[in-house]
A and B are shown apart, each in its own frame.
Chain A
């Protein structure tokens, strides 16, 4: 099993969710996050006081998947989230030690 973490542009969330639904992904956790990468921040100006905003709002998806789904999921997110412009985000793949569904006590792939 793997944990896939994808950082994407917030306005792409719906498209990515739809695309993942279509390939049979049953659960996603989403959070609003801020960060920076190669995309530079911007400046904000309030009554003459200028502030540089380094951290840009992004959406982080966490998806736990069985090993055989990993490449399919990565490809799907890539296709749905891509604009071709700087700041499209990144996808991380992490090893996943174990899973349990709290309601039934099922473990492993069955719990995904």
Chain B
């Protein structure tokens, strides 16, 4: 009861602060006249920040490898970490060869063209202007690298669902096909000039808001994870066999690296070293803080103990939830989103445990559910540089629902097709005996821990 009343007063306080702020933002939006588009000038501050951000986002993938690696049994630690590491290799090449072009070069409203294959036409002097009305620009190579890191982590997230049973060769093929056919088109829709950026033309609605990839990264990977496990099936022995995490310290270290890297992911998505980045940095701090606590308290009340894995999972859920909203909401609403997404994702994993489907490391439960929640919450709570439901803009919420529905359906259907084809050709799963022995030994001829 005490916690409940504390939350209520916290919510009331937040609302009291936010409502006048929202009014000021609306005033400012009315006054600004559309300026002429200036020619791009390299901004060294922005460039420096974006170089650092790209490196921070890359660091999330080893962080994810630790996060997932700690949660599996010790016989599968290397195979699980390799699912993340190997996509740094695969997508690290794919994105330069075709990925960037399919996502960000001019094409049609569905997918980009092939004019920037092998980064054709880009030189160290090519500048990229993120905001057309501002002269500030960064080298296009920096933008390419920043975006590549997003493509890498996204397919990495999917691997959480398939741990401990998927054939390594099938995973590698799936990674390259999925990134080209699912990630790149959705990135084009939301960020590369595709149809979700032309909602006025298509449906008379405002454009979809996705600050740092709630839909493109988390929703698409979470839904695809769910689709993939429908074809892959449960782990042998699930759910009656003990499949407890073998090293939660690794997992918590992973959470720490993910959070650290996420500052590049979210604050870097301002594509500039500016106040917007500072806002995103702030929301990226308060939302996971709130979500870690809300998951922890939910678990404490519901099952009796505040678990370390629970707090860590809550932090990741909070990071996922704030991702689409990071630069569009005030810190107060960031806390609200964090508190809510922690509880929503905790409920999602409880439902999963009841339904007994084997999303081994909760890629869907955290990223699918958290990503969906965040995308919708953005349409509700957007108050900075955009307006959501709480400022009376119902249309934004509709756009968000369209973006979520379309991305989820597309990712689900294409993943099902890919999984079906791979299953019928090379096979998705390892042999039952190999699975029992462990994937480290049978897929990689190594073991994670050698005592002698």
Contact = CB atoms under 8 A, between A and B. Distances in A.
Interface of A: 44-49, 51, 53
Nearest to B71: A46
A53 B362 CA distance: 23
Contacts of A46: 244-245, 307, 309
A47 B342 CA distance: 13
A49 B350 CA distance: 8
B24 to A, nearest CB: 42
A47 B350 CA distance: 7
9 contacts: A45-B307, A46-B244, A47-B349, A47-B353, A47-B365, A48-B303, A49-B239, A49-B244, A51-B243
A45 B313 contact: no
A51 B241 CA distance: 8
A111 B402 CA distance: 82
A43 to B, nearest CB: 10
Interface of B: 239, 242-245, 303, 305, 307, 309-310, 313, 349-350, 352-353, 362, 365
B310 A47 contact: yes
A48 B349 contact: yes
A46 B310 CA distance: 8
Q: 10 closest Cβ contacts across the A-B interface? A: A48-B353, A51-B242, A48-B350, A47-B349, A48-B349, A51-B244, A46-B244, A45-B303, A49-B353, A46-B309
Given A46-B244, A48-B349, 11 more contacts: A45-B305, A46-B245, A46-B307, A47-B309, A47-B349, A47-B362, A48-B303, A49-B244, A49-B353, A51-B243, A53-B242
Contacts of A44: 244
A83 to B, nearest CB: 24
Q: A44, A46, A48, A49 — which one has the most chain B CB atoms within 10 A of its CB?
A: A48
Contacts of B303: 45, 48
A53 B243 CA distance: 11
A45 to B, nearest CB: 6
A53 B239 CA distance: 15
Contacts of A51: 242-244
A29 B307 CA distance: 35
Contacts of B353: 47-49
A53 B352 CA distance: 22
A88 to B, nearest CB: 26
Contacts of A45: 303, 305, 307
Nearest to B313: A47
A49 B310 contact: no
